[in-house]
Amino acid sequence: MKLLKKLKEKELLNLSAEELEKRLLELRNEYSRLRGMSTRGALKKETGMIKSIRRNIARLETARSLRKISKTNEANR
């Protein structure tokens, strides 16, 4: 199990769209795996990672939404 760090806004804005989607998919898969382990009672000290992953997913979703908004604003100018 790898350690997760908090994703920074500057890092997220510098990622390409493909890299953003790739990280989002990886985090969703890890979240799903941890939730499954949690329901089976197999998690002990890793329960805090669920919260961290969920927040990182939200950060990635926000970055993706900001890109869509900025693209539509540029197109409307």
> 14-43 pLDDT, tens per residue?
888 899 999 999 999 999 999 998 888 887
Whether 3 has a pLDDT exceeding 50, the answer reads no
Q: At what angle do helices 47-76 and 17-40 cross, to 10 degrees?
A: 150
Which pLDDT band, with edges at 50, 70 and 90, does 4 fall under? low
Whether 2 has a pLDDT exceeding 90, the answer reads no
Higher pLDDT, 12 or 22: 22
* Residue 54 belongs to some domain of the structure: yes
Domain that holds residue 59: 47-77
Q: How far apart are the two ends of the chain, measured CA to CA in Å?
A: 46
Number of domains, the chain = 1
> 50-69 pLDDT, tens per residue?
999 999 999 999 989 988 88
Whether 7 has a pLDDT exceeding 80, the answer reads no
* Residue 5 belongs to some domain of the structure: no
CB 8 within 8 A of CB 48: no
Selection from 22, 20, 21, 51 nearest residue 34 by Cα: 51
* Residue 23 belongs to some domain of the structure: no
Selection from 56, 51, 73 nearest residue 15 by Cα: 56
* Residue 26 belongs to some domain of the structure: no
* Residue 72 belongs to some domain of the structure: yes
CA 75/CA 57 separation, integer angstroms: 27
- What pTM does this model have? 0.80
Amino acid in position 69: I
